[in-house]
Amino acid sequence: MSEYCLERGDCEVYGMVRRTAHIHDHNYRHLKDNPNFHVVRGDLLDGSSLDQLVQEIQPDYFINFASQSFVGDSWRIPEETFMAGAVGVLKCLESVRKYCPTCRFYNAGSSEQFGDVIYSPQDISHPFRPRSPYGAAKCAAQYLVKVWRESYKLYAVQGILFNHESKRRGEEFVTRKITKGFARIAKAIKEGKEFEPIYLGNIDAKRDWSHAIDFMDAVWRMLNQEEHRPELKDVEAMSPLLKEYVVASGETHTIREFIKVCTDHLGYDCVWDGHGEREFLRFNLEFFNKSHLKSAALVKIDPSFYRPADINILCGNPEAVKKELGWKQTIPFDILVKRMLKSDLYDAGIISISDSGPLGEPNKAETPA
C-alpha cells in the first residue's frame, strides 16, 4: 500500500511499526530513502500511542492492515488474534473519532469471514459464518466499523479482500512456503545436494488468489468512492451512502494447481503418488533417473498442518467493485505464481533478474527459470 501511494506522487506516507528487539524491515527497507516515507513507532493495542500519532500527523487516510493474520496460528493464540483483529480496530476508530474525524478510515477484512459458505461466489450479502478465531475477529471488526460509521458519521469502511499475494508475503503462508520451498529445492539440485520436501496440509483446498498490487488499487477506490459513484455528491452527507465491497478474482485454484504452475515453470516432470495423508509429489522416474538426483519427493502431506475446522472453498464475487468503482484485475493467477517463484529463485541465486516490472516485480515471469 505504501508503494502504491508513493507511486501516485501526491501522498506522504507514515508507516506505523511496533518496537521489537529485532528489526523486521525487509518489506519496506527500499522505501527508507524516499523523502515522502516515514516510519513511526506505535502499537495497535496501545490507544495512547494511536491517539498521539493521529493528533500529530492529522492524516487524510488511515489504512489498517495490522492483524495476527496467519489463520493457522489463530487457533494457538486466539486471544491475541482477537485483540489485534477486533479490539485494535476499535482503538483505531476511537483515535480517528476523537482527533481527526475528517480522516478516511479503511480496515482490511478477509474472505475468512464467510467461512462455512452457503453459496459461491460470495458477495457482500453472504452471511458471515467464520470457522477460525481469525475469521471471527474480522467479523467483529466489520460490525465495529459499521457502528462507528453510522453513529459518528465517519468515512469508515472495511473491504473484504480475498487472498492477495506477492513476493512480500510472509514465509509462514502456504503460497510463499511453496515458492520459497521450490527455490530451495532448485538450489539443492543445482549444487547436486539432497533436499527435504515441502510439507503441506490440505492441498485440495480451493482459494481465490490475486496479486496484492491489484487489491491496493481497490482499497484506494473504496477510500475515494465519490470519484466513481455519482450519487455521492455531498461529502457532508456521504457517510450513510458508503458501501463496502468484496475484492476478488472470481475464480478458484487449488494448492495443487499452485504447485503445478511452479513445477511447470521450473521444467520439472512430476507425478502425484500415494493416497490421502501418504500422498506425495515426486519426479517422474524416467526424469529422476536421467538427472541422477538423490531425492525424488518434492512435496509431502503433513497432517499436523490440518486445521481444526478448515474451509474447502472460498471464491469472491467482484462484480460490484468492478461495476461501481471501476476496479479491474490486471495480473492473472499463473503470472502471480510465476512472479513469486521467480523472486525467490533470484533470492536463492538461481536466476538473475536484470529488469523489473511495476513496483519491483519481475516482468518476464513467463520466461522459464
In a shared domain, residues 196 and 321: no
Q: Decide if 325 is inside a domain.
A: yes
Q: How confident is the model at residue 122 (pLDDT cuts 50, 70, 90)?
A: very high
- Write down the residue that cell numbers 522505501 correspond to: 31
pLDDT-derived band at 369, boundaries 50, 70, 90: very low
What integer pLDDT is reported at residue 283 of this predicted model? Answer: 87
Q: Are 100 and 214 found together in one domain?
A: yes
Same domain, residue pair 151 and 75: yes
Tell me, what's the pLDDT at 67?
A: 85
| Rounded mean pLDDT, 143-160 | 97
CATH number for 152? 3.40.50.720
Mark whether 79 and 197 lie in a shared domain.
no
20 and 70 belong to one structural domain: yes
Mapped to the 3 state alphabet, what secondary structure does the chain carry?
CHHHHHHHCCCCEEEEECCCCCCCCCCCHHHCCCCCEEEEECCCCCHHHHHHHHHHHCCCEEEECCCCCCHHHHCCCHHHHHHHHHHHHHHHHHHHHHHCCCCEEEEEEEHHHCCCCCCCCECCCCCCCCCCHHHHHHHHHHHHHHHHHHHHCCEEEEEEECCEECCCCCCCCHHHHHHHHHHHHHHHHHCCCCCCCEEECCCCCEECCEEHHHHHHHHHHHCCHHHCCCCCCCHHHCHHHCCCCEECCCCCEEHHHHHHHHHHHHCCCEEEECCHHHCEEEECHHHHHHHCCCCCEEEEECHHHCCCCCCCECCECCHHHHHHHCCCCCCCHHHHHHHHHHHHHHHCCCCCCCCCCHHHCCCCCCCCC
When mean pLDDT is compared across 120-124, 189-193, 300-304, 358-362, the lowest value belongs to 358-362
Burial 142-176 (b: 16+ CB within 10 A, else e): bebbeebbeeeebbbbbbbbbbbbbbbbeeeebbb
Q: Could you read off the pLDDT of 350-368 as tens digits, one per residue?
A: 887 643 333 334 444 433 3
Read off the pLDDT of residues 212-233 as tens digits, 9 standing for 90 and up: 999 999 999 999 999 999 888 7
156 in a domain, yes or no? yes
Q: Which of 84, 138, 130 is nearest to 109 (CA)?
A: 138
Are 79 and 40 in a shared domain?
yes
Q: What is the pLDDT of residue 294?
A: 58
Residues 6 and 69 in one domain: yes
Q: What percent of the chain has pLDDT over 70?
A: 89
User: What's the rounded Cα separation, in Å, for the pair 243 and 239?
Assistant: 9
- What CATH number is given to the structural domain containing 264? 3.90.25.10
With respect to residue 298, please indicate whether it lies within any of the assigned structural domains: yes
Domain assignment present for residue 62? The answer is yes
195-214 pLDDT, tens digit per residue, is 899 999 889 888 899 999 99
Distance, in Å, from the CA atom of 129 to the CA atom of 113, rounded to the nearest integer, reads 6
Rounded mean pLDDT, 13-31: 86
Q: Report the pLDDT averaged over residues 90-105.
A: 98
Domain-embedded: residue 367: no
Total of domains in the chain: 2
Quick one: average pLDDT of 39-59?
96
Is residue 141 in a domain?
Answer: yes
Q: Region 27-34: what's the mean pLDDT?
A: 92
Q: What pLDDT does residue 7 have?
A: 94
b/e string for 345-358 if b means 16 or more Cβ within 10 A? bbebebbeeeeeee
Same domain, yes or no: 180 and 285: yes
Say if residue 326 is in the same domain as residue 192. Answer: no
Domain encompassing residue 93? 2-167+209-251+313-331
Q: Is the predicted pLDDT of residue 75 greater than 70, yes or no?
A: yes
User: Is there a domain that residue 229 lies in?
Assistant: yes
Residue-wise pLDDT for 293-304, tens only, equals 656 789 999 877
Q: Which three cell numbers stand for residue 266?
A: 521450473
- Do 129 and 219 share a structural domain? yes
The residue with greater pLDDT, 320 or 314, is: 320
Residue 152 lies in a domain: yes
Q: Assess whether 116 and 198 both reside in one domain.
A: no
- What is the pLDDT at residue 289? 66
State whether 73 and 178 are in the same domain: no
Does position 39 have pLDDT exceeding 80, yes or no? yes
